[in-house]
Amino acid sequence: MSQATASQTAAPELAGEAAPAAESARALLSVNNIEVIYDHVILVLKGVSLSVPKGGIVALLGANGAGKTTTLKAISNLLRAERGEVTKGSIELEGERVQDMTPNDLVKRGVIQVMEGRHCFEHLTVEENLLTGAYTRGGDRAGIQQDLEMVYGYFPRLKERRGSQAGYTSGGEQQMCAIGRALMTRPKVVLLDEPSMGLAPQLVEQIFEIVKRINEQEGVTILLAEQNTNVALRYAKYGYILENGRVVMDGPAERLRENEDVKEFYLGLSATGRKSYRDVKHYKRRKRWLS
């Protein structure tokens, strides 16, 4: 795999300078060559660039520790709470530099992250959880009530469980609650981190279906970090693959799905068809002998 250019159009070498600027003009969110360091020593992102078009669904793919979550947190600026820092590059929302803003400011501007592992407020009821999402909107009662109904429209399950403490609801319900809470902020772009984690395949499918509907009907842009490459590439329009803090490949979702390397490394398929379980086992056993 070779380092791919961030630009999806095959721009000539000389125009390389101008291309990102032109791109960020039509992109809702653009991340330009950022580097993130934790605790002043641990280099996690080594120059990540990506751009998210308005109204799109973009997937960030990669293995554990590739830097997906860090990229999202750099955008929503939850990094600072973990003593991480963007040391190079820039992050722009509709052409405005946003990397020094507090999460509060970013939420007001329409950038919200749904964190990995849901992070619902366990001791608050489902409805109270949703209402915390409206915190930055102040006293706009009518609007908040209307959005609450909108969220219940997408997630009827939440309406049934509105009075239960979120900590006692199921994993799927908590994921819905977290997404619903994000919608209550009236976002432009939702950074969705690992929504499939720990959920049954059917439920994952259902949640992605709803996310897609939200994207189409509410015009909310989605930037998605997923390990479940298969599902993510089916719902996303464009994908970036991260490895060791770098973007190693990017392209429209269909192209990535067809790519041999992606098939082999992320979808568990190879050119010779699916490997049989016996071969896999054999391979592993041999490897253990050698090491």
Partner 1 sequence: MNLRTIAIWAVSVPLVIAALGFFHQALAAAGWIAFFTWPFYFEVILNGLLQGVMYSLVALGFVLIFKASGIFNFAQGSLVLFAALTMVGLIEMGLPWPLAFVATAVVMVGVAIAVERVVLRPLVNQPHIILFMATIGIFYFMDGFGQTLWGSDVKVLDIGIPKDPIFILGGVFEGGLLVQSFDVIAALCGALLVAVLAVFFQYTRIGRALRAVADDHQAALSVGIPLKTIWAIVWSVAGIVALVAGIMWGGKLGVQFTLALIALKALPVLILGGFTSIPGAIIGGLIIGAGEQVAENFVGAAIGGAIQDWFAYMLAMVFLLFRPQGLFGEKIIERV
Nearest approach in angstroms of CB 99 to partner 1 is: 16
Nearer to partner 1, 107 or 204 (CB): 107
Residues 72-91 touching partner 1, rule: CB under 8 A, are 76, 78, 81-83
- Does residue 182 touch partner 1 according to CB under 8 A? yes
How big is the site for partner 1, counted in residues (CB under 8 A)? Answer: 37
Min dist. Cβ of residue 288 to partner 1 (A): 33
- Identify which range of 44-52, 102-110, 212-220, 254-262 contacts partner 1 by CB under 8 A: 102-110
What's at 226, amino acid-wise? E
Residues of span 189-218 touching partner 1 by CB under 8 A: none
Best CA proximity match to 64, nearest among 194, 191, 178 = 194
56 token code pair: 């799109």
Cβ atoms 73, 99 nearer than 8 A:
no
In this structure, the strands spanning 84-93 and 189-193 are: unpaired
Kindly identify the residues of this chain, within the stretch 147-176, that bind partner 1 according to CB under 8 A. 165, 167-168, 170-171
Q: Which residues is 57 bridged to in the sheet?
A: 222
Contact with partner 1 (CB under 8 A): which of 124, 203, 248, 269?
Answer: 124
Task: Establish if 126 lies at the interface with partner 1 (CB under 8 A).
Answer: no
Return the amino acid letter for 255: R
Compute the least distance from the CB of residue 144 to partner 1, in Å: 10
Cβ proximity to partner 1: between 30 and 129 the closer is 129
Taking CB under 8 A as the criterion, the residue among 49, 51, 185, 196 binding partner 1 is 185
Q: Which is nearer to partner 1, 83 or 275 (CB)?
A: 83
CB of 118 to partner 1, least distance (A): 8
Q: Quick check: 228 binds partner 1 (CB under 8 A)?
A: no
- Interacting residues toward partner 1 by CB under 8 A: 76, 78, 81-83, 102-104, 106-108, 112-115, 119-124, 128, 131-133, 135-136, 138-139, 165, 167-168, 170-171, 181-182, 185
